[in-house]
Every structure is written in C-alpha cells, then in structure tokens.
Amino acid sequence: MPKASFSMTRSRKAYEDARAVFPGGVNSPVRSWRSVGLIESGPFFVLRGKGPYLIDLDGNRYVDFVGSWGPQILGHCPGPVVAAIKKQAARGASFGCPTDLETRLARKLQKVMPAMEMLRFVSSGSEATSHAIRVARGFTGREKILKFEGCYHGAHDAVLVKAGSGAATFGVPDSAGVPAAVAANTLTVPFNDLDAVRAALNANKQEVAALIVEPVVGNSGTLIPEPGFLEGLGLAAKAAGALLIFDEVMTGFRLAPGGAQEKYGIRPDLVTCGKILGGGLPCGAYGGRKEIMQQVAPLGPVYQAGTLSGNPLAMAAGLATLEILLKKENYKKLEETSAQIEALLWEGAEAAGKKPKLSINRVGSMFTVFFRTGPVRNFADASGSDTAAFGRFFQSLLRNGVYFPPSQYEAAFVNLAMGPKELKIVGKAARAAFAEV
C-alpha cells in the first residue's frame, strides 16, 4: 500500500525551477522520468546517498537500484572512497600534468583486463567509445563500423543509430542532428544474430573497421549473449580484418573483476570502460593491443586529447573503489544478493498472478524485469514490452521505498551495501507493485 506520508512537494518545486534552465529539467534525458508516466511531476531531486539508499529533498528514502547508472557498486559514500577524494582534493583537483595516480589505476585495470596492453584515460564512457572507434578507423584505414540494435555506446554521432534506452525510451530511433553521411558509416544488426553479422561483413568487404558491442547488453534492458555469440563475433571480425571492440563501460568490474571479457573468456582487440572505473567521478578509459594503441598521438597519427583526462580526483576515487571491490568474495556476494532479489521479484509476481506476463533477464548484479513473456533475446523482443505496465510498476515501487531505473529499457543494478534489511523492503514493495500493475 502507498504510504499516506509519501510526498514529493520539494522535488516538484525543484523540478519546476530546473525546467526553466535545462531542457526537460535535467542534464541527461532518462533522469526526467518521462517514460514512466511522470511527465508533469518529474523526478525526485536527490539530497544525498547513504549506503544502499538515496534520500530525496522531501526526506523520502529509497533502496537504490540505479546507483548513478552503474558506478555505485559499493553503495553510496563508502568511507575509504570519500577519504581518498578528500585527501586528493586537498592536494589539488586538476593539474593538466601527469600524476602517478594515473599509472597506478592503469596497472590495476590491466591486471583484471589484460587485453588493455596500452590505454588512455578520458572523462566519460562516450569519450572512450568515440576515441576507440577513431583509433580502429585509423589503424585499419577503413571507415565503417558495425554495431548492434539496442546497444548504446554513448551520445556521439557515430553510435547514435539504433542506440537503445535513451532513444528507445523517447521513441526516436536516431537523433536529429546526426549527419546522414556519418550514420551511413554505421551498420546495425540484431544482437545474438551471427548470420546477420556475417552477412553485413560480406556485403561490406574491406570496409568495416570494427565491430562494437556491449558483451552483455544493459541499454535495451538486460540482454544475455547466447552461447557462442561472443566467440563468433571474434571469429567473424578476424576473418573480415576488422577489430572487435568490447564496450564494457557498464559491464566492466560489474560482472567479474575483468568484466564480460573475463566472464566469457574472450580477448577483444579494444576495450572501453567507464562508470565503476571512476568510483562515481567522471572517468572513462579505452585501450587494447599495443600495436593499435601506438597509433595514438603523440606516438602515432590518431589524435586524441582531454584537458581533464586522468583527472586526479577521478583517479583517486577509482583507485579506492577498485581497492575495495576487486575481491572474489564481493562478486560471490553480489551474485547471491542478486539471485535473492530475482527470487523475491518472481514471488511477488506469482502472488499477483502476473508471472506468465513477465520475463526477467539477469547476469550477476544487472537485471531487467520485462513486462512481456520471454525469451527476450534482442532489442526487437525487448521493445514488445508493456511499457505502461512498467511505468505503473516503477511508480508503485517508488511509493514503497524502492527506486528502479525509470525506463523499461535500462538495467537495474544491485550493490554491495544491500543486505537483509533492504531485501525485506524490496520483497514487500515488489508484492505491492505487481498487485497494482
């Protein structure tokens, strides 16, 4: 039952104010909650985070399944990360000169992702994919890239084609403002469809610089690679003389210390990271085979630069985060907590008689409840979901103290701060929500 005391008065006022300044009142579209039936009331505005919770301006507390869209895998404000940021802030927030923090974080990254023989730090996931694609083009001397329908690789021109969540949420397959000539160099095929990959490569012989993929998709909701799909991509890329780019901005450090490439035992040519890597501060990385990365300036002809790249605050936060996170037992705990949450969701659905209308895709601590019967293998399947039902589900969870991603096409994330107390809240909220949808 909704709590009588639930109110978002202050958030509504803050939203009104923000709408006068920012398009849609936000600085990234999905934050507006438009796709869950809340166009007028808008989102809550956050006062602070604490462990597994977010607290909004009205003092409501929510178990947080978004975690800043992935980075907060330890929960909010982990002591050592806060301390590391403070310590570095007192020394200086940015220098535009190298620090050894960068090398230390790079070494940590290479230890879990050996495919990153050489790498560059940047300030976001979008930057990482945009530069990885440029490097692939520079290295191969080819211009086309192949991506998968519903995979999101950031908000830049080359990859804003059939890009999942953000675009899907708002019903525009592509963005206005992307030149047709740029989009023409981006081929798209369905996820989990190797025949389509081979056909596209055959039809564009000697033209495809790289295949870029979210090895486990999070941006159409969670989509799971079928056995052999990722291996098949590697073989198809190799046969075509194209590079394989794993975009692990979401999956890196989440599915295993070394991300999906560790979990599925694949060694891509190039890798992109972000999100967890910066421990909540703006950070990304791209890297891969040495001979490829040696093409990057000042060693080679591919230009890439960034005023705040390798920012010391982000490096310090990333180091402190990975220091705590990268232990086997943490991934065991994430899996256990996530399996319990999945079971609670199914129980709630069953009690409400909604089970036959649902499908849950989960890999470790990322999952999606699709409001449709399964299986959900690709973007076309995901987009057949009942998004109105998802919207009601989201709103009911919210009133009962649980914050899910505000879109059917986003993955929910479990974090290490969630324990028995939070599971109880989730179980109760799930029962109420499935009964209401």
Which stretches of the chain bind ligand PLP, using CB under 6 A? Answer: 124-126, 129, 152-154, 214, 218-219, 247, 249-250, 274, 284
Distance CA 243, CA 137 (A): 9
Q: Helix or strand or coil: residue 227?
A: coil
Closer residue to ligand PLP, CB minimum distance, 84 or 281? 281
Name the amino acid, one letter, at 325: L
Distance CA 231, CA 79 (A): 40
Distance CA 154, CA 156 (A): 6
Q: What is the DSSP letter of 269?
A: S
Secondary structure of 360-402 in HEC code, one letter for each residue? EEEECCEEEEECCCCCCCCHHHHCCCCHHHHHHHHHHHHHCCE
Whether omega before 71 lies within 30 degrees of 0, making that bond cis, reads: no
Residue 48: count of CB within 10 angstroms of its CB: 10
Minimum CB separation of residue 278 from ligand PLP in Å reads: 9
Minimum CB separation of residue 348 from ligand PLP in Å reads: 27
Minimum CB separation of residue 375 from ligand PLP in Å reads: 22
Question: What distances in angstroms separate CA 334 from CA 290, 320, 363, 414, 421, one per listed residue?
Answer: 33, 19, 11, 7, 15
- The catalytic position among 193, 247, 269, 381 is 247
- The catalytic position among 275, 331, 354, 381 is 275
Minimum CB separation of residue 259 from ligand PLP in Å reads: 11
> Would residue 275 show up in a list of annotated catalytic residues for this protein?
yes
Q: Helix or strand or coil: residue 349?
A: helix
Closer residue to ligand PLP, CB minimum distance, 254 or 377? 254
- Per the DSSP assignment, residues forming a β-bridge with 270 are 245, 288
Distance CA 340, CA 55 (A): 24
Reading the block at residue 278, the tokens are: 């910066």
Distance CA 120, CA 296 (A): 9
Minimum CB separation of residue 415 from ligand PLP in Å reads: 16
Backbone angles phi, psi at 321, to 5 degrees: -65, -50
Closer residue to ligand PLP, CB minimum distance, 132 or 242? 132
Closer residue to ligand PLP, CB minimum distance, 218 or 391? 218
Distance CA 190, CA 378 (A): 6
- The catalytic position among 152, 286, 331, 409 is 152
Backbone angles phi, psi at 129, to 5 degrees: -70, -35
Question: What distances in angstroms separate CA 376 from CA 41, 251, 360, 373, 409, one per listed residue?
Answer: 31, 19, 9, 8, 12
Distance CA 310, CA 106 (A): 10
Closer residue to ligand PLP, CB minimum distance, 207 or 248? 248
What radius of gyration do the chain's Cα atoms show? 21
Minimum CB separation of residue 124 from ligand PLP in Å reads: 4
Query: Contact at 8 Å (CB) between 371 and 393?
Result: yes
Minimum CB separation of residue 3 from ligand PLP in Å reads: 32
Minimum CB separation of residue 409 from ligand PLP in Å reads: 12
Closer residue to ligand PLP, CB minimum distance, 11 or 124? 124
Report how far apart the first and last C-alpha atoms of the chain are (Å, whole number): 13
Give Dmax over CA atoms of the chain in angstroms: 64
Name the amino acid, one letter, at 423: L
Closer residue to ligand PLP, CB minimum distance, 219 or 338? 219
Closest to 115 in 3D by CA, of 307, 285, 237:
285
Minimum CB separation of residue 232 from ligand PLP in Å reads: 20
Closer residue to ligand PLP, CB minimum distance, 38 or 128? 128
Residue with the shortest CB distance to ligand PLP:
125
| Active centre residues (catalytic) | 152, 247, 275
